[in-house]
Amino acid sequence: MKKLKLGIIGCGTIGTEIAVQVKKHLSNEMTVQAIYDTDQEAINKLKKRIRGVSSKKTAEEVFQDCEIVAEAATSAIVKDMLFLAYKNSTDIMIMSVGGVLGNESILKKLDNKNIKVYMPSGALAGIDAIKAAGCANISSVTLVTKKPPKGLEGAFYIEKNKIDLKKIRKETVIFSGNVKEAIKGFPKNINVSAILSLAGIGVKRTFVKIVVVPGSSVNSHEIIAEGDFGKIISRTENVPSPANPKTSYLASLSAIATLRGIVKNVKIGT
């Protein structure tokens, strides 16, 4: 059986977990062919865990050498990665889904060229139901995200508004707005809102509330949606990744589930 050649752009927490899990659970169907990161130390660490993988000097070399590429870096490079997928006729899996917003026209070009774009549900439960509901009419979607202070440190919105997270003593709403505003203020913290908006009613109509919860050890996401289908309430409590408190462990696992869905013949879920 021919193995699918997987490339990984970004060798941090999620990229490393993807590589490790592919080797552990999908080695019969897929191989980690090539990796790339601007951080050489991150590359070296990953190569120690996945022996024999080739590191490339540029992201484009990864696209040229692989059949599917997983972006696991940052939303800032997603536009360039989509263009590379188009240029090299390579399928792509996007983890930094916030970077897709505003670049939907490129998705249409990829679709017209029969290039597949995969966007895992990440740390959010309920995407299947939202997709199904979207086949009729959705009137409202709200996402309430609760995180410990460490999970929001360094966010653009926090720095701009000079919010001292250490001084927050009780559960506090620090942001309310639509997805477009949320992604701008929290580009590394609220990717789940992007996938929710793409699956449902868009960035302007999907409402987001971000709450700081001192003393919490989990990241939680609650979806409340209403429409012709009735009402959806979905809540997920995620354990932060030990390597990066800003990333939920489930986000990495959703990438593996997506890759498994690509290579397996039995498809479960919407």
Full-prediction pTM beyond 0.95? no
**Same domain for 137 and 215?**
yes
Domain-embedded: residue 270: no
Comparing C-alpha atoms, which of 138, 146, 145, 207 is closest to residue 179? 207
CATH at 100 = 3.40.50.720
Domains of the chain: total? 2
244 has pLDDT over 80: no
Average pLDDT in the chain: 94
Q: What pLDDT is recorded for position 240? A: 74
Domain-embedded: residue 50: yes
* Active-site annotation holder among 146, 180, 188, 221: 221
Q: What pLDDT is recorded for position 245? A: 67
CATH at 209 = 3.30.360.10
CA 33 to mean position of chain CA atoms:
21
Show the domain range for 193: 127-238
Domain-embedded: residue 243: no
**Same domain for 76 and 168?**
no
List CB contacts of 229: < 8 A, sequence separation 6 or more: 132, 133, 136, 138
Q: What is the pLDDT of residues 131-182, one digit of tens each?
A: 999 999 999 999 999 999 998 999 999 999 999 999 999 999 999 999 999 9
Domain-embedded: residue 55: yes
52 has pLDDT over 70: yes
Q: What is the pLDDT of residues 73-89, one digit of tens each?
A: 999 999 999 999 999 99
Q: What pLDDT is recorded for position 249? A: 86
Residue type, 256: I
Q: Cβ(66)–Cβ(88) under 8 Å? A: no
**Same domain for 208 and 226?**
yes
Mean pLDDT score, 45-72 = 96
Domain-embedded: residue 268: no
Rounded CA gap, 17 and 194, in Å?
22
Is 221 a residue of the active site? yes
Q: Cβ(216)–Cβ(199) under 8 Å? A: no
**Same domain for 40 and 143?**
no
Q: Which residue has the higher pLDDT, 103 or 240?
A: 103
Query: Do strands 138-147 and 219-227 pair parallel, antiparallel, or not at all (unpaired)?
Result: antiparallel
Q: What is the pLDDT of residues 214-243, one digit of tens each?
A: 999 889 999 999 999 999 999 999 987 777
